[in-house]
Amino acid sequence: MKISIYRSFWICAFLSNLGTWIQDVAASWVMTHLNTSPLVISLLSFSNSLPVLFLSIPAGLIADQGHRRKVLLFAQSMMFFAAGLLAYLVWQGQVTVASLLSLSLIMGCGFALTNPAFQSVLTDLVPNQMHTSAVMVYYMGINLTRVLGPTVGGGILSSVGPSSAFLINSVSFLGLIIFFWIWPVNTGLEQTKKLETLDWRFLFSFHNAKLWVEIFCVTFFASSLWALYPTRGRLEMELNSFQYGMLLGSFGLGACLSAILSEKVMLPGKTKKSLAGSYVIYAVGVGLLGFAPHYGFLYVAMFLAGIGWLVLSTLMNMSSRQITGKSHLKATMLGVFLAVFYAGMAIGSVSWGAVARLSATTTALYIASLGLALIGITKLYRNWD
């Protein structure tokens, strides 16, 4: 944080992430008031995830051609205008299911375009010997927003209404827009990079393909929580706006605990065991979310899910980075990981929404919990010394 340009980036990113979590609470809250079908509500998670499947690889390739700044400015501006328009529609009482999903899809496109380039910015702002520290400090901020954002979002919903939450999210993008506008990029070092056949052949070798299949299956089952927690909390448990915001706050608190214990949990030699354990813990959270007879159990469920989510998402990201370590197209290869990860999230979200629509929310959560637990137990058994 002693480096001024990194400090400015961290503050802007912190505020943007805070605004995103505030909007997540407000968007799902508004959707449950517009429609009570679990399938329709799950489309909100689907619309956020789907663009990443199709845009993350092209976005990474464009970023690798030396156009990161242009991509980031375009994507952040897109999300700024979409969130602002959503705030206006909610304020005027003109928001519909179609407009909410459409604007969420646009914001998902912005996220998809941003992420591959965004993650490579961190290491450009500090000297090589400070890369690890820079990444750790950045993710400390993200974990803090996971707790503060939903809690603040719940308070905003109960005090001034959802339109203010969307407006705050829109304003939160301004910091990064200004930062990327003035960010000094040494264009003389940029060079055109071609996507070679060897890159893809290595990336989709049999050994690496097993990782992609595992990531897809895990995120497919894990998406059930993101698709169905609004139905479970807002409609079935009838939580008020502040209690509803605290659901994601509990999730963030669990993620913070994982971050604090990361040095003990995420050891390089224990990656497979840690992943397996995170699958099981997350599965317990999903199952408890379906079982919960009282809203207090919902908080415990989300807390456990937060513990598991941070570990599994972080270690999956690290594993994919190791695979792509020899490639000169870092952002493109990171885009492949994001495409696989969010393919499972997108397809899973609408699938679990359909299961809940045809049977019950608890049934969908039980099935997803069982599937993820089986993956975790099997992986743990295979890697037990």
Kindly report, residue by residue over 264-306, the tens digit of the pLDDT: 776 666 778 889 999 999 999 999 999 998 889 999 999 999 9
Residue pair 228/352 in contact (Cβ under 8 Å)? The answer is yes
CB neighbours (10 Å) of residue 207?
Answer: 9
Q: How high is the pLDDT of residue 325? A: 54
Distances (CA, A) of 235 to 29, 80, 238, 259, 364: 10, 30, 5, 32, 16
Q: How high is the pLDDT of residue 322? A: 67
Q: How high is the pLDDT of residue 190? A: 45
Burial 334-344 (b: 16+ CB within 10 A, else e): bbbbbbbbbbb
130-152 average pLDDT score: 77
Q: How high is the pLDDT of residue 70? A: 86
**Location of structure tokens 């820079």:** 134
DSSP assignments along 178-211, one per residue: HHHHH----GGG-------HHHHHHHTSHHHHHH
Q: How high is the pLDDT of residue 187? A: 47
Q: How high is the pLDDT of residue 185? A: 57
d(CA 151, CA 139): 19
**Location of structure tokens 């805070």:** 18
Per DSSP, 123 falls in state G
Distances (CA, A) of 29 to 25, 90, 100, 235, 375: 6, 12, 11, 10, 32
d(CA 180, CA 74): 10
Domains and their CATH numbers in the chain:
4-182+197-382 (1.20.1250.20)
Say whether 161 sits in a helix, a strand or coil. Answer: coil
Q: How high is the pLDDT of residue 335? A: 80
**What pLDDT, in 10s, does the model give residues 234-249?**
999 999 888 898 888 8
* Tokens, residue 137: 């400090």
Higher per-residue confidence, 373 vs 208 = 373
Q: How high is the pLDDT of residue 334? A: 76
**What pLDDT, in 10s, does the model give residues 97-129?**
999 999 999 999 999 998 877 766 776 777 767
DSSP assignments along 263-282, one per residue: HHHS-GGGHHHHHHHHHHHH
Average pLDDT, the chain: 85
* Tokens, residue 140: 């400390």
d(CA 24, CA 116): 21
121-130: which pairs have CB atoms within 8 A and are 24 or more residues apart?
A: 121/9, 121/68, 121/72, 122/9, 125/3, 125/5, 125/6, 125/9, 126/3, 126/6, 130/3
Q: How high is the pLDDT of residue 260? A: 81
Which has the closest alpha carbon to 148: 251, 299, 13, 286?
A: 251
Q: How high is the pLDDT of residue 282? A: 97
Percentage, residues of the chain above pLDDT 90: 50
d(CA 39, CA 358): 9
350-378 average pLDDT score: 96
DSSP assignments along 301-363, one per residue: HHHHHHHHHHHHHHHHHHHHHHHTTT-S-HHHHHHHHHHHHHHHHHHHHHHHHHHHHHS-HHH
177-185: which pairs have CB atoms within 8 A and are 24 or more residues apart?
A: 177/73, 177/76, 177/77, 177/80, 178/12, 179/8, 179/9, 179/12, 180/69, 180/72, 180/73, 180/76, 181/73, 183/5, 183/69, 184/5, 185/68, 185/69
**What pLDDT, in 10s, does the model give residues 174-211?**
999 999 898 765 544 444 555 555 555 655 565 677 88
DSSP 3-state percent helix, strand, coil across the chain (nearest 5): 85, 0, 15
Q: Which of 76-80, 234-238, 264-268, 336-340 has the lowest mean pLDDT?
A: 264-268
